Amino acid sequence: MKTMPINANLSMDRYGRQIAACLDASAEALPHDISERLRVARLQALGKHRDVQVRATAPVLVGGGTAALGAGDGDRGIWPGLVSLVPLLALIAGLVAIQVFGTNQVAQELAEIDSAILTDDLPPDAYADPGFAQFLKARLDQRQQD
């Protein structure tokens, strides 16, 4: 991004004012109908310019000497800020729901396995078998279907 020195901006402003003065001086020599059309066109251009509000993003100094991009000092009110929080709140609510339901489901499965171990008559060698958890889950599924 190119930036112009302050002196260049001042000289451009001065040049623009000189052009505007020359145009104003020569506008007096124009016929009435042309000057009226120019006046109407100028009013239309100003009206369109007021309708279009351009918000430029410029660096804003934040505490500690750091810079952040800001949208300027627009008078947008509080609603856009609150509306922008809705996706964040939905994300937090979803993460909490996943945590609660996931924890409850795991705890319920462990409780079912523990109750099956405590109420079943099995030889002690069955507890050391690697497929014992699968066996218990299959029996629980059979009980739930009945």
| Tens digit of each residue's pLDDT (9 = 90 or more) over 34-48 | 888 888 888 888 787
Mean pLDDT on 96-112: 87
How far apart are alpha carbons 112 and 106 in whole angstroms?
A: 10
Q: Give the pLDDT of residue 56.
A: 52
Q: Is the pLDDT of residue 60 over 80?
A: no
| Tens digit of each residue's pLDDT (9 = 90 or more) over 105-129 | 888 888 888 887 777 777 767 777 8
Residue 19 parent element (H or E): helix 6-27
- Max avg pLDDT among 26-40, 58-72, 110-124: 26-40
The domain ranges of the chain are 1-53, 76-146
Which residue would you say has higher pLDDT here, 77 or 53? 77
Q: Give the pLDDT of residue 59.
A: 58
Q: Give the pLDDT of residue 94.
A: 93
pTM, two decimal places: 0.30
Cβ–Cβ under 8 Å, residues 38 and 26: no
C-alpha distances (whole Å) from 50 to each of 19, 20, 45, 46, 117 are 23, 21, 9, 6, 78
DSSP notation for 62-120: EGGGEEEEE--S----SHHHHHHTHHHHHHHHHHHHHHHHHHHHHHHHHHHHHHHHHHS
Q: Is the pLDDT of residue 68 over 80?
A: no
Q: Give the pLDDT of residue 70.
A: 55
Q: Which residues contact 133 (CB under 8 A, 6 or more apart)?
A: 113
Residue type for position 101: F
